[in-house]
Structures are given as structure tokens and as C-alpha cells.
Structure 1
Amino acid sequence: MVAPVFVQPSAASRPQFGQEAPPSYRGHDTHTYYHVWRMKSLLSEVNRVRVIDNQRSSGTQHTLALHQDEVPSSIMAASSFHRALGGGEDARTELVLLVLSSVVVALASSASAIDERNLTAEFVQVELTESNFKVQRPYDVPENQRYSYDNVTGVHTFLVYAGDKPFNTVTGTLPRTEVRLAGHDYSSGVWQFEGYGYVPTGTSGASVMQIHNEQGAAHATVLMLHVYNGTLRYYSGEAVEDRIYDRWFRLNVVHDVAASTVAVYVDGRRKFGASVIPSDSYYFKFGVYMQHHDVSPLMESRWRNITVYTKSTTSSATTCRRSWSSRWLLASLLLVITLAISI
């Protein structure tokens, strides 16, 4: 792993001694205040990194470049404070602190349960055959007028018109042409959908992928990805990916059943995550399913290389425990060294 690159804050942005001294410390002797402040800063930094770990998308980067807005600012400020106190023997101390702190930040930022450089690491591929691809299309038209599969390119093409009928005579749902992945409903573990999607210009007001709950569930789905005017959205809300038209994009959707969470990755980068309402069982769907607003007369999507992966919750938990154990062991070592050299 390449060491982090710290970008030094400008002289104007460096704190001067006493600027950030909390009221409870003012009046204490300079040396005692500095070391207490530094310890609190390091503890704060480790906690901050733990939050960043779940928010940033650093897994695709082989070099972790920490710019001014990402630098462990409290550690850099501590170094500036120490130089203001006169440096000397403590310069060596600060160098040790900065190096060790850099390692903590790098480990905590780059390690995660899902490695974005290999989203399917530790997952097992589920076997899919033609029988698993169950097409749902308007009940009053032949399948080949709304769905096709090209054996040469491996592309599934889905079409639906705003005026089409539902997929059967019983349901009152809106028009759709979708594949329901049958035979692999799940109720535990961590499951991942992977596919390459394509949405042509003009398609709007359609769901192109969803995680569906079991028949009769209180909530029909835990995740739907809609396209509205060129933007892929979580239902009709948060934008997942802009400029989705006229290009092939790789979509990975990870559902951790035990944790009741979903995460969406586009072209290998995490773009969305949410907690979801649990249900008894789930299955994947993809294609085009008309929604309630901003609907185009014709909706279309194309899909290829559809793959499903799974791993047990135990495997996922073990990975997380190993990751956090190594990080907190190093953090603990850093704090012990800091205490030792501060006495």
C-alpha cells in the first residue's frame, strides 16, 4: 500500500498558539495543556475516521491522497502548536505521531467489508440458467413484441408503452416488461445483483431494477431504481447517478439481510446506501416498470451479464471483525506510544 500524501495547510490556515484552547484549559501551564489537547485530538481523529470509513469511496484508489479538507487537521494543528512552543526534542516526537497517525487514517479509510476494487470478493456466484429468467410483460401482447434476448451479444431488451396493460388480468399494477429472477429467493445472508445496464435517451418514469419482497408483504419492495429524465434515482428521491442515458453502466446492488441495509454501486463506486424495512424473503427484478410521474410514452432498458452472488452473514461479520480488530489494535498502539512519549 502506498503511504498517504499529506498536503500541508497554508501558513494562513495554521492555528496559532492559544487560538483553539478550550476555556477549561486556559490558565494551565503551556506544556500540560499541549499534551492534554493532543491526546483529545488524536482520540477525536480516530472517531472521525470511523465515520468517514462508511461515507467515502476510497476503495478504488491505490494511493490515498489526503488533501486539506481531508487531512487529520487536529494532528496537523498539534504539530503547528508544538513548533510554536519551540520544537527541540519534541520535533522527533511529532514526527513519530504524524507517521503513526497517517497509518491509522490510511487503514481506517481504505479497509471496508466491501472492497470497491473487487465488489464480489468473498461472494459465491449463484448458478443462473434460462429457467431462472421469468419474463413479465403486458398480458395482451406476445412476448416478442416487448422482450427479446440476443444469443450472440447476450443482451436482454425490454420495452413497455405507457398505455400497456398489466402483466396479468388480476393485478392492478402499472405496465411493465421485466425479468423476475426465480428460484433464488432469499431470506438471510448478503446477496448481490450485478449487471450491465443501458437506458436510451427519452426513457423516463420507469423502474429499471428492484429488490422485491415476498408476495403479500406489507411493503412490495425494499429498493427500486427509477430513471427520470436521465438520472437514476432511489425510488423518486435521492439521485444515484446522473447522465445515465446512452451508455453501458455496471450496476451492483448489495443487500445485507441481517443488517437490513442496501448499497448501490455504479461502475465500481459506491453511490448510495440506506437502511430498509425488513421482510420475510426477497428476490431481484430488472427491466422497465412504469411509475407515477414524468413518464415517457415508450420506456426501454437493455441488460447483459446478469450475475447473482451471495455470502453468509457469518462470513460478512468475520470480515468486519477482522478489519476493525486490526484497525483498533493499531489505534491502541498509537495511543500507548503517545502516552509514553508525553510523560
Structure 2
Amino acid sequence: MSFKLPQYKEPDFEQAFLKNAPNVKTQKVVKEGVAPDNYHGTTIFPEYFKINGNWVLAKESRMDCVVVVKNDNEVEIKEFRNLKVGENVVVGRTEDASEGIYVYTEGFKGEEDVDETFAFRSGRSRETAYSKDYDDLYDVLRHEKENGYIVWVLGPAAVFDKDAREAMASLIDNGYVHAFLGGNAVATHDLEAGMFGTALGQDIYTQKSMKDGHYNHLDLLNKARRAGSIEKLLEQENITDGIIHACVKNNVPVVLGGSIRDDGPLPIVISDVYKAQNEMRKHTRKATTVICLATQLHSIATGNMTPSYTVVDGKVRPVFIYSVDVSEFAVNKLRDRGTLEVKTIVTNVQDFLVNLKNNLVK
């Protein structure tokens, strides 16, 4: 295999501005869940903090959080709501080492990277050619299957089509999915397809609306709530295909965050949004590749929890983030919200999933 992870080049800490930088300053939390004034807010990039003369990397970062210095001189990135009284929070609003805080953006930049002041087609749109992106993604996923942690974020469009649903289930069966994040809808309509062959009452192959089909997802939800768990539902209703069935069969974790618009919802759905976020965070902390398909809000939520890097076996490596949607607005929204390292592909997710399955599963 020709694929190689980009090598991380750490800062040269012998440079004068880093060597002579002061230690970082901290202030204690005096009220639970509230950071001190002038707290430092984290970014998606590798960040170093000078503690007792040593530069310390934040190993599990997240955008828009705060930095707590631990007793062992390590740092922990925490959400504001999780701050405890007495914890030492890094303060300072500079990123150039002048306050002991250094945000480093050049770690994965290679010699082949060229910055042009003016260039055509620098954005990504429906006119962009994606052949190279697909080929790169195939290589990434083959590598990550054995060496990484692949997190998928799915919207219901992934199950509205028979071929796409089967392709996604096949990717799960063949080890290309290590965690699945989404909302109530994608799981509901996947299970509806397993029970009735429809999604929102339409046949997932012919797209023909079935008589009384608008009841199907409600009947599914009612049966699921009666069963009390997804596992019991699969057994009682003899559902033997689809994404949720594949996740259960292969012990792939599923995290479904609730929405104010949900029907039902399914028993597995986490209605407390902060509990859902905490469960999602368990997987974004470990993620080495994240693929977001046709779900704007869940994509932004996951992207904002995922840094551009992670530390595996003591080595810094990039996190590959893909956003796929038929809407240019939807994929660019994730970039606009701060996830600058995302690779966007403008296409319908049905074609995307079938392409992946045909090239990865033989």
C-alpha cells in the first residue's frame, strides 16, 4: 500500500521566542462550571503550554474549550460546564508564546504545499473534480480500518435509498466503521426500511409512496418503544439487514442525539443534549477519521468537537475530516463554523456510499 500518514514536525523549541517564553499563567475556578476572566479558548490546532519551563502539548483537544493544568503538569481540555472549583485554568488571549501559550499551525505542512496569492478554483463546489479526493479517501479508509478509529456521522438520506443503505451496512460489516453518530431520524428510517421496506412511507428502491405509508415510521417507533431496546426490536420483528442491524451485529457503538422535532423517539436516543454531547465526545476524542454525510447540525456538532490532530502511541497525527452533501451551503457551513481542516465533497450521499462500497469491499 502506498498510503503514508503525513509526518508531524513539532516546533523547534530552541527558537528564541519559544525558549525565552514565560511559563503560562493560571487562575483557579471559584464557581463550578464558570471559567475565570481572560481564560484561553482552544482551537482545532495543536496547542502547547509552557509549564515549569517545559512546553506541554494538549493531547486531546477540542475547539472553544478551556485548558486545565493538572497536578502532574499535564493539561486537560474541558468544556466550561465540566469545570470544578479549585481547578487551575490557563489564562491569556495571545497565541504566539508571549504568555506561555503557542498555537501551532505548521505541523503537517509539507514542502509541496504552495500558497498562492491568486489562483482559480480555490474553493470547492459542484464544479470541483473529486476523483483524487475519492482515491485518497479509499487509501485513508484502508489504512484506518486497521490502524485508526473511523467515526461516521449520518443523516437520514443515507437510508432513503436501497443501494446506499446496503452499501453502508456492508462498510460496517467489513470493518470500516468504528462508531456511528446521528439522530433519531436516520435510525428510525433505517429500521422502518428493515421492517416495511420504506423510509417515510416511500419504497426505498422504487421511491413509490405506499398506502398509509406515513404510518410506517410511527408504527416502527411504537414497536421499538414497546420492545424497550433496539436489540429486542431486531429480534422480535426479525429485522436482519440495514445500518442499525449491522452496528448491533458488529458491536459498533451507536450514539443518537435527540432533537426537539423527534417523533417517538427510539429507546436508544439520548434526549439530554449535554449527555448526548458527552457520549459523542468519547468517540471524537479517539477519532482519526470522521466522515459526515448529509446532516448539517450533527456534522457541525461533531466537527466542532474534533481537532485537526490526535496523539496515538505518543505520536501526533492528523485527523481526517470529510463533509459530504449535495448542498454546497451545507458542506461549507462546517468550514465556516471553525472546522477549517475539513475536506468537502459536493455529491449526493447515495452515490458516495455506493462508490465507497464498490471500491473498498470486494
TM-score (norm 1): 0.23
* Higher share of residues assigned strand: 1
Greater RCO structure (CA 8 Å; 6+ sep): 1
